[in-house]
Amino acid sequence: MDQRIATVMTGFGGVAAASQLCLRGVSAREITRAVRAGDLVRVRRHALVDGTRWRDAKPWERHALRARAVAASFPDGSTLVLTHHSALAVWGIPLHGVDDRVHVSSTGGRRGRTDDRVSFHRPVPAPFVTDHRGVSLVRPAAAVIQVAALFGGDAGLVSADAALRSSRCTPADLVAAVESLGVARASSAPRRVVALADGRVESAAESRARWVFDVAGLAQPVPQVVVHDEEGRFVARVDFLLEDEGVVIEVDGMGRYEDIRDLRAEKVREDRLRELGYEVVRLSWSDLGDPGVVVRKVLAAVGRARLRSA
């Protein structure tokens, strides 16, 4: 990579506008050459990302790079603000069920033109806008509510739980956002997300499961419960427990078991839970896409638990 380009990209955290490169003596032709060589990736007109960082990034990390590059590419003095999951990605909050567009608004009230790369939204009240590492964006609670309103509760709850878990926002912040942004008038999902959000939940799969439980009308289990045996010795820390029924619910994310030894250890763990009188039900990532499957599995486990105690 041209040393001038490398210096600029490093200085701006792996992203830059074409104008920032031009100010340092890099011509448009040299930028095009770098894009063709893979040294740079053009994510939108004038918005550039370091090629190596882009190729090494996970999908959600790519969205943060794309969002920051697009933000950098707008003219100096613009009132562009990153919103929705574009803001969440820059905050480092996990995403699920969203698109690849960069979502923005303008505090000046002007609406840009939505295209296949960028979606423009109405202005966000000033108290919900801040700066993070040189990028103007909405606060995490506001972004969570926006995602829930646009993409649904499944997507919103994944980010809401993660934001609470990482202390990026508080339950009170979520309440303030849903009351002030006005998005709840068009969708019931934001209010349900606020009611359900729980920082004890530790993964996107667990958040998705809780949304399915709610949609299906199932009782919400207690998350992250430590189980001990009769002598008070630690047995397991389970994803969820239906305490009144004695049913443990474990949720597998994508690629949970990478080693056969992990799978064997999990079987031993489940056998020990059953010896203590618990029924165990496992929900896979694919199960979470079909509420009917989740309901059948959970209710079957509840039925077995009641027969045990009869």
Q: What is the CATH number of the domain that holds 236?
A: 3.40.960.10
pLDDT value of residue 258: 60
Answer whether residue 63 is part of any domain.
no
In this structure, the answer to whether residues 186 and 237 fall within a common structural domain is no
Among all chains, which residue has been given the structure tokens 């000033």? 126
In this structure, the answer to whether residues 177 and 262 fall within a common structural domain is no
pLDDT value of residue 307: 85
Among 47-61, 100-114, 120-134, 183-197, whose mean pLDDT is lowest? 100-114
In this structure, the answer to whether residues 185 and 213 fall within a common structural domain is no
> Quick one: 154 exposed, middle or buried, by C-beta within 10 A (0-12, 13-18, 19+)?
buried
- For residue 238, CA distances in Å to 227, 243, 269, 291 come to 7, 12, 10, 21
In this structure, the answer to whether residues 210 and 188 fall within a common structural domain is no
In this structure, the answer to whether residues 181 and 216 fall within a common structural domain is no
Answer whether residue 65 is part of any domain.
no
> Last residue of a domain, which of 196, 217, 247?
196
How many domains would you assign to the chain? 3
Domain of 110 in residue numbering reads as 70-196
Answer whether residue 64 is part of any domain.
no
Here the tokens at position 80 are 């562009």
pLDDT value of residue 310: 67
Residue 89 has pLDDT above 60, yes or no: yes
Is there a contact between 63 and 89 (Cβ–Cβ < 8 Å)?
yes
In this structure, the answer to whether residues 132 and 183 fall within a common structural domain is yes
Residue 257 has pLDDT above 60, yes or no: no
Answer whether residue 242 is part of any domain.
yes
> Quick one: 225 exposed, middle or buried, by C-beta within 10 A (0-12, 13-18, 19+)?
middle
Answer whether residue 129 is part of any domain.
yes
Average pLDDT over residues 176-201: 90
In this structure, the answer to whether residues 35 and 78 fall within a common structural domain is no
Q: Are strands 234-242 and 129-132 parallel, antiparallel or unpaired?
A: unpaired
Answer whether residue 286 is part of any domain.
yes
pTM of the model: 0.90
Dihedral pair phi/psi, residue 138, rounded to 5°: -80, 155
In this structure, the answer to whether residues 177 and 247 fall within a common structural domain is no
Answer whether residue 61 is part of any domain.
no
pLDDT value of residue 282: 93
Is there a contact between 174 and 192 (Cβ–Cβ < 8 Å)?
no
Give the pLDDT confidence of 270-310 residue by residue, as tens digits: 889 999 999 999 999 999 999 999 999 999 999 998 888 76
Answer whether residue 216 is part of any domain.
yes
Residue 187 has pLDDT above 90, yes or no: no
Residue 208 pLDDT level (bands cut at 50, 70, 90): very high
pLDDT value of residue 256: 57
Residue 110 pLDDT level (bands cut at 50, 70, 90): low
In this structure, the answer to whether residues 305 and 192 fall within a common structural domain is no
